[in-house]
Structure 1
């Protein structure tokens, strides 16, 4: 077999895993694809005759590429104060597209990705690689130019923040959908008390409107505050189409075939604990929206 063909086949065996790593690292589908493509270009140019574990080698390459992207992004954010909602993965309620199964394995909800956006690049790398993909701290240390003990501390700090701000959603999708339906029914009826009842006392609402809306991410906290905002969602109820957003119950709001927003709900303990809204018109046009 031709060596180039052999190398291509070996790379394709690892592509889904590499895309999953990059999506968790970057929260962007297009940037994840670019990172994986960069890994292929480096593999094509490298002498890998001494590489015993090609999968681990490729994971390290992708992680380093992603770390550089995160560091560059952090610098731009410091200059512009921009906060960006991660890319949601939309699927019909019938189930997740097989193409996206690897990206969404292990319940990578949008709320979790939002919290990962608040971590430093090194913290995010350590948490994603160790806690999600079981990469040893010795390998993470070399990527971050720290000791293994320091890499362990990075992951520990990240883990505490994730556990505190991104609770695991209820595993029962039907139960999630019931709660989301109750939310929209209360909003449609203008029933403030019913809205408060379906929201966790510490619920957080994050909404990214993009450049058209002053590139502003609005963050609201608390059941009553979020309920006051959610009453206005009642007018959207006729246009809300059920969907899976990163594998959890959510909706795509669209009128005349034009998407207005994507709403991701995190439901835990029978209550809505987080609502993440992407309403940036430019990014909505770029999304794959099978429910439309």
Structure 2
């Protein structure tokens, strides 16, 4: 099989979306010596750059990327991609279908055919994403696992029309970012979200019913989530808005009642208590 990046050619990535997932991917790319172009609105470009560099500092301190300024690639924050030939694009905008459709429809105008479009959707199947992009052969779906592991597993799915070469290039990019690609079958939520998100929804529902305190629910499930975590801390890390939107997407496509967001999640969403990103969710967080 042909090497997708011969002679150790430097990789240039684009990232659509500057939330927690987009910021994390951008920081990983820069930390692994890549050139990364983050697409953001002009008013948000300065703060986006600051958050990427902050995230890179966190990843270095945890050993997720090589330490030292010499290991850094380049970060560019721009309004579009028309002047930047890139090797792959990560779509990491909100899980709302209308926003993903807009992002994918617009970005293909500036891309060479064959450029992998890697969507970080946790609820929407690859085939739907591919229809919006208009290039079904170029779209691949992923869902990040634990973002702080030095070599984190990441599920990767192809649609019915994803080209073999595109899939190979996408997996190579993920490996270069330090992930361990795990091939899964396409579908709403695919594997990780279909298992994990209903569990998180159930934990939030029990917290709302005062079945146990937030801390005790997390302690009781620490055997599954780790001694320093738990399902409700996991919800806060994912982001309550992100979780609700993903659950809604899965529920709409499967009818699975366990994926109907519970009242507790909806109430926190309405109150702006989104988790780590807003400073308050099931727990409070300092800046």
The alignment's TM-score, normalised by the length of structure 2, stands at 0.31
Higher relative contact order (CA 8 A, sep 6+): 1
Determine which structure has the larger helix proportion and give its number.
1
The structure with the largest alpha-carbon Rg is: 1
